[in-house]
Structure 1
């Protein structure tokens, strides 16, 4: 493989330095670097980050290739600066056996745009009644460490306890979609003033918070790891903060859209804003930002949820829930966290690479940008400003809530083990 010199980039936002990539590895970091025959990338003013890691991506394959495939989803991930994604289990068939997770894992290997780590289902068919083959999925070639029924809550406390006990044996983690189903029957949006005015069924904050409270207690009792998916309310923040103050092994993620958008947007009745958990209030958004800044929330995860046009271009009540997010995630984080002074670029690297890789126990990702480390890297131009145009997305779906919105920052290059998957903002 050829040598590459990234010249003058600010590693994690620090002073400008050069980075030499030789093959799959960063071999030298310094100033004035040179190497015979090396390709030089002039990166003055740009930020160099470790490759981003997403703990929560829906790639839809197998079964819903009309929405996304592993190939198109990983292309979208690369454009967004991601070098590894965790593929959620709510596929058709469900990823609840070694055979299905190995299929997804192999498709990721074949795509070549980013590493795909399958997430195994907690229960058979996501039905919440019987534990899936957790051990077999872990022992498979895919080496599953994260298990989730995302899209559905593991609402049975006994099943949740058993799952936590089972994954403890191999240092796995259960990632919970916190939604008490009986409190959200018929829910269409956040329960509050806006839902009352619009006459739409409300999704109350307590439906999320009650499950989180139960599960952090169960995790503490078992001595196992629990991860809270797409945390969305100020109350949820306080429960996680309390659990962490006890020293319990609890982690949590927040999506980019919950850092920026509020339930006021539902007044448009545009189904692009329909998502689970729903967009919340401005007070919730501010609490989530502060919690991400102080580390109560460990990481940003996209919950990239592609849908075909017909599933979103319909009346609100009939529309599918979910938004695409891989290609815009870093820009939203820059706008909400960096440009507001809540995080610096080192903090972004921590929340979007180091911590998610650690939670998922990924090898080779979430590593420092230093000599001897795998060359999984993301180069960002923070000065860029541009309107979001979904027509240019690498994803197969276009259900973005940011169409036409100006966002800052652009990923110019992504490297997966030294090979450029994105060059000058376009797929290599």
Structure 2
């Protein structure tokens, strides 16, 4: 197995599912070559991914456990270097991971998430009002004008980003996960975001508020072990993870329903629920496709493959959801009526996404409101013209052109 020719990862993410199939052909664990010529492993099989996510011998800390990185063999020109340089929940291991997770989890309690419901509904309604101003036959980008701003505004409210700062602090696009950009360009963009986030943190120190940034600052002031770098990096992580996956989940669900009208008819007739449709989207079109990084703390055997100590590992969520060993010959087909929609798109075990309840609520509110307001929603281009996101890390579309024709203008709010 170790001698197989590695699958060279397409940094443009041109066809996420075709690439996943090529990796799966090697078995549940595949040898891959990342941009920059770095060799790694990709775990594609559902059972293997579940095992890996629960295995404490796989660390997320490159400083301690990525042998090549610790030895200085991975230069700053490595296109994914930003994923290794972070100091937050995404790179923490052991007690550090538990400490950071406890601090952040307080923001996503059921009570706090439910308290955000009316705010999410208001954001969705306001954005739909803006869309309603489009001309009857106008093609609009539903990602740029609805899915992305909704997710960005919700996480911005949670973190406490003031309106005047949102243009700079909130991600304006998916540029930070665009794996086609140069390392230099990404570094410059990351430094700009860090500068703007430092300004936000200092503003919250001067004027505390009822938001997550103030909560984390208070925890730091009360003796938590959250240092300044972790505070900054954690807030940036939450901005990204609170925006892009929800954006993709909303757009991927809309795209699936518009491409498969039979599924949409089942939904309209009440034969499947929104919950079933969203779960099937999470399975068949995981919003995060191929996530870096984990590192073997010792030699580990997974899926018949020995991953050597210090080697990097990626989790292929988009591949795991379509594993034929779990979902059979129809694994590649979107079908909200299937009985088993098992997926790992929100992670598993101690690495299960903390923000899952909020992301779920946002997605369901966004979809229900959209199709209720615009029941005649259709694609604005042929399905084959919808371009990928320009990354192999995320699974989404660059734009989602739609027509809102058939909308009921009498239902517009005044």
TM-score using structure 2 length:
0.28
Structure with bigger RCO (C-alpha 8 Å, 6+ apart): 2
- Bigger fraction of residues in helix: 2
